Amino acid sequence: MIQIENLSLDGETYTGIKIDTKPAPIVVINGRKGFLMCGYLNMEAADKTGAIAVSISGVNSFDDLLNKEVGKISVKARQEGVKEGMTGKEALKFL
């Protein structure tokens, strides 16, 4: 099953995409310039393509992606001001 949902946060609207895979889902929230992604997706590929990306591991839902701490940050996301230890919701403001 694929779930696509508009998420409203602090006056902004973001698109959340969740793909049910086993043993855990793939979860992404797309921002204006970049995206939050679950740990399944590859940060090295994000850096290679110049993406503004943030990876958060151990997520199963959009709420998890927004509330857990940032794990990995692409070079471009770091340049935008994202830092380790932020929540996904805090990082999304830079994306």
pLDDT tens by residue, 16-46: 999 999 999 999 999 999 999 999 898 999 9
Q: Which two tokens stand for residue 34?
A: 């970049």
pTM attached to this predicted model = 0.92
Give alpha helix (H) positions in 4-95: 43-49, 62-67, 75-80, 88-92
Residue appearing with tokens 């794990």 = 71
Checking if the pLDDT of 79 tops 90, the result is yes
Checking if the pLDDT of 10 tops 90, the result is no
Model pLDDT, residue 56: 96
Give all domains of the chain, ordered by start, each with its CATH number: 2-92 (3.30.1980.10)
CA 46 from centre of chain = 12
Are the CB atoms for 16 and 4 separated by under 8 Å? Answer: yes
Checking if the pLDDT of 75 tops 90, the result is yes
* Mean of per-residue pLDDT scores for the chain: 95
Are the CB atoms for 84 and 70 separated by under 8 Å? Answer: yes
